[in-house]
Structure 1
Amino acid sequence: MALPGRRNRRDSARRRGAALTPRNRNETAGTRANPLRPYCAAARPRPLQQPMGCRLPPRCPPSPGAMAAATSCRRAALGGLSVGAVSGRAVTTAFFLSNRKMELSSGKLARFADGAAVVQLGDTAVMVTAVSKTKPSASQFMPLVVDYRQKAAAAGRIPTNYLRRELGTTDKEILTSRVIGRLQLFYWQYFKISHRILCNLLAVDGVNDPDVLAINGASAALALSDIPWNGPVGAVRVGVVDGETVINPTRKQMSSSTLNLVVAAAPQNQVVMLEATAENILQQDFCHAIKVGVKQTQHIIQGIQQLVKERGVVKRTVQKLFVAPEEIVECISRDEAINKIRLETEEQLKEKFPEAEPYEIMESFNTVSKDIFRNLILNEYRRCDGRDLTSLRDIKCEVNMFKMLHGSALFQRGQTQVLCTVTFDSIESSVKSDLISTAVRYVHLWMFFFPPYATNEIGKVTGVNRRELGHGALAERALKPVIPQDFPFTIRVTSEVLESNGSSSMASACGGSLALMDAGVPVSSAVAGVAVGLVTKYNLEGRDLEDYRLLTDILGIEDYYGDMDFKMAGTSKGVTALQVDLKLPGIPIKIIMEAIQQATAAKREILQIMNETLAKPRPNRKESGPVVETIHVPLSKRLRFLGPGAYNLKKLQAKTGVTLSQLDEETYSMFAPTPSAMHEAREFIGELCKDDQEVNLEFGAVYTATITEIRDSGVMVKLYPNMTPVLLHNSQLDQRKIKHPSALGLEVGQEIQVKYFGRDPTDGRMRLSRKVLQSPATTVLKTLTDKNSIVLGGTAPESSTSSQ
């Protein structure tokens, strides 16, 4: 299948992905054309354009001679090609490192990549994919790109920036990518082929660091691919805790470890890489740690070699043209064949019709290919993958993919695979709209990611693009009506497309519905979505629709060669979202009605399959999910609770991850990411607010206070031994205006008499004054030792009062 020429290929590659024509003029020198990108990306045919640097004359139909030659040469070849399913099977191996289980798996996720592996230690899991081009580049340097990305959803949190999505690359991600990039030393010296390794953090348990897992995942992904290299390698982290060597220590153990050593080794105990931070560790201990680490890496290497053996991986020969590995779907090999036919046809037509313009030859081939594809559907009711017009592709669903995630689901429909996750956070994490669109909180957030490996591409992983925003918005519209408005958390649903061949947005709606129910969100009903296509026999001149066929659950190629992309999502009772893209000037409403009926029937069938996996929301949220509680803090304890400058709240958040928001004067809402964090926060707050067994003080009484500290603003005093010191301000020390307590000769340990005026009703602070006892006016002083005696007038002598 060939695509029309383009005036600006860089722009078109970014917007659509030119898969079957060269993405640039160097494709014949080694860039593999990817057949999935144009139709998986829901591309639409553009008006015919001339290659860059040429002026395009007015459009004219292809010459009859070129059309006839293309038809006669290639009709048979195109007619017999078909789409198959992903071959291969999922394999898993597990081994123990110092009595801790590590698991390697492949063949289940991201199967369009040349190599993919998932590494799991505890409840921390990392998926790594490897994709390469097929021919050497002109660069003298190793064209290896490594991206390590940490997603907030993996930790059960929502990003705290304004957009609530992952933005730039962090220092941690860059440094980890550089460590993984050292694997390039194991490539053949002559292997100058561009390739990319992408590490995606799926789940993190807060116990096991994912960086070393990413190194092992990259090694496994490369070993399981057909990319030639001299691996595999294995990597471990080594720590020394209380004099004992620990392999892959937990984060708590690392806090007390005197060594942080990362060891990577090859078979036969060959050291590949060392990176260490130590606290003046002895040389013999350091050498011992290296030896222990290298020995442990051999278990990882053996596990990778076992996976390679079970998968029967065959490495490509660099000198030969690329041959698609068995794991990749047959649609890639089919469209590679079509691309080869296109190139051959163009050469033959150029020789036969030297006077023809290049765009005429290219358009001729495109027209023939499109006609053959459409005629098979219109005349023979045949689709390229063997289905009838109303059949769905095979659907598989899984939920609860990783225990640490609040909710997760994997939705597979044919060659489209989507991993959806649900994350809960506090209401304060919701996105607040700007002033232009009024002050509204968006508590339901949807993020859609379409990485390049989903279509076996080597593309840049940048910020969100318009296509991702659009697909995410469509899936969000499909699910928003079934989510309760009074849910006590902000919900962030992420949808990551792992494989794509048509309708990834509707697959995201299905996967998102399952993930929400897996997370325990009380949705009113499950949601499913499907895309319906249209192939017509349409007379553009007379705008006459002569014949048409509706296709249920379209492939990418059917979207590309078809006339309509009709996406509909809803529940068993109705529709929640609809989006229709047409390539025709217009179609009768009858076809729209038929498309709705056909989509409704398909939607019910999808819902039945989804219900077999999870029919209704879980009654309770997972144990790893967040907790919300309210606490009551009396005004008298608010200052102690908050601390100066809200220091105690900041300390609480840094220590436990718990955030507080004030509901009224004495009530606060606490959000904790886990129940254990909430328990720790309650203990912390209880310690702050515990009673000091305060003595009942009498309003207006005079007490003896002991100075415990002298400050610039006053003195800190205590009225009884176990009392928390309070500030007696300079303004209340003397009737004269003073700038420092030293002006009165006050010293620490000195006893002074003060008058008690109760507590401030706004902040609960104790109000004391020494100044009023110096007033010449008549003052009523009540001595506590003899409550019946009252001193009238003047200032009471210092010895006439005592503290209770």
Structure 2
Amino acid sequence: MDYNVLIDLDNKNEEYALESVAKQANGSVWLKSGKTVLLATVVIDENEFAGGEFLPLTVQYIEKAYAAGKFPGGYIKRESKPSDFEALTSRIIDRSLRPLFPKGFTNPIQITVLVLSADEESDLQALALNAASAALYVSDIDIKTSVTSCRIARVEGELIANPTMSQLHESTLDLYVAGSREDLLMIEMKAHGSVETELLSTAMVDPMIDPAMGVDTVDSYHANLVSEEEFIEILSMAQERLNTANKAYESAFDPYAKEPMTMELHEVSGTQQIEAYILEEHAEAVKEAIKEMAKSERSNALRKIRNDVLTKHEEWDKEHVKMALINVKKSMVREQILKEGVRADGRGLNAIRPIDIQTNILPSAHASCLFTRGQTQALVVMTLGGDKDAQMYESLTDTAQKSERFMVHYNFPGFAVREASPIGAPKRRELGHGNLAKRALECTLESPGHTIRLVSEILESNGSSSMATVCGGYMAMRAGEIELTDTIAGIAMGMVSEGSEYAILSDITGLEDHDGDLDFKVAGSKEGISALQMDIKLGGINLEVLKKALFQAKEGRGHIIDVMLEAEKKIETNPDLPTHTIFHIDPARVAEIIGQAGKTIRSIIEKFEVAIDIDRKGGKVKVSGLNREGVKAARRHIEEIANKKREPLPEYQVGDIVEGKVKRIVDFGAFIELPGGVDGLLHISKISDGHIKNITDVISIGDTINVEILEFKGNKISLGRAAV
């Protein structure tokens, strides 16, 4: 492959072949970084116009199994439905590049990114955006702004730009930023929890255990939330990297950019006369329509105004009247916010809508929460399971399957916004919102032994159902007695700006999202941020303005958390909720809990209807079950066995010959019960001088034989057959 361009950046380099493959596309690039190879293409339909304001941009990021030397999983050995990672990566590319297209551009555009070769250290999301942007830049579509990505990780306190995947897995921060030389266009961030291991006496772990047992290791989980001040500093670092990178890209790609075609813009112009008429004759009606917070009710009110205008002025074009009415409505919303500091629903700029929280309203579910904020309502339901319930998945470069033990699934049916639409497979928006809520909650989760699934059913929506999912998800887990390191809430922020004037809005509605300049979702505790997502419609945002928005979000988040904490006090646990307990015993007593051939532990499981997992080496015991009293009783029973005082055992020395009884015969020898209740192993090779085919030909259960103490291995005694 003939590579035309080499880009050398922090911790990575990229090689581009710009004139070698897919030459019939409007733009194409072949990108190589390490062992990873991607092909990105851009194609525009020059003859079709979608009409309206919507840009019909389609992005498909597709991973080929052969890129990692694999066969596609499943019965059919061919790539088909995109994975969640592919869908989310496509969404990231779309959100990053969509702001580049001018208003009124409505030709269908298809951007395709194929992963043809991959290695486990490459950041495929970052490379995919860079490749897609490069293909658009060198195409004949008249957009000559480079957009690149920068990912920031924090490993052992040190910030790393463009980390490898190994570094990212060790990081307590994952910040992904996309932008041009001057402007930030999209931000995604999540904090990672970390485990710190401490040496503590076993008695400190569980005071019921004898302190003489020594020490044990205890994992202490920390959320590593990011403060607002720290986030701004890290974002400033990312912005500097983006500026440097985009200068390098544009300088390198300029010589290879095609001659731009003429871009036809579908603009509805000449509406000034109609707008003036609407303001003169229907201003009050428009104001009343704006007060209708539900999207369907507002649309109906505006439709009545539009029909009235068309009835009186048949000479006016319907589309012109529609656009004029949209412009008047938008300007009224924005002017009222900027000039009066009052929003369409009468709230102040930082006011939060009324919140109502009900928990465990579903009798048969393990836990549930109905979270309502204004006209946004999420029913979040939690289900607890074990290891077998975890979601199995495999990424392109994984060598083995992995298990996802915390899942957040978000569903947005049409009835939530009074739309007559069928419910089908989750779309990219639903996957994205679920992923955002998962990132917000996961870093504070302590769930040893549990698989947790949260399902958010959006029952009504008027602004930020994803943040309602975060709040409802936290409450559902607390209703299910899941321990979390901190209280997490989410809030959606917006902004309206004209020139140097701007207003930041807390807890935005759908109307403010549509007519505003910023969609900014931030989740976290009262102390810091756990997850963040920002789409900037302005083309960029000043960091000082962003800082103000972050602190206003922190204030709103604190208010929501206070309401949640009050609701948490009123939780009544579902009696059918599975429960578990984890405690420690002396590892030397584990064998007694298990019993001969597992007889003791099986009897405990059957008697108390529980599941038991024991770490033989560390003495960690986990008891779980559906019946709380059964779990408690099983723990007490195990602790009684473990704490039962042993009778002093006889002191044996190597070489002693004692009389014992054959207790159990196995393929490799026999277990002999010695005086004092001690068992020892008589290996098959020590039973007779000659070769033995069947042990039972020589000894039988119940026989009394003389044995010699040969060796002590920890708590085990090795025996030999003593001469008679």
Larger fraction in strand: 2
Say which one has the larger Rg: 1
Q: What TM-score do you get using the length of structure 2 for normalisation?
A: 0.49
Q: Which has the higher contact order (CA 8 A, sep 6+)?
A: 1
Normalising by structure 1, we get a TM-score of 0.44
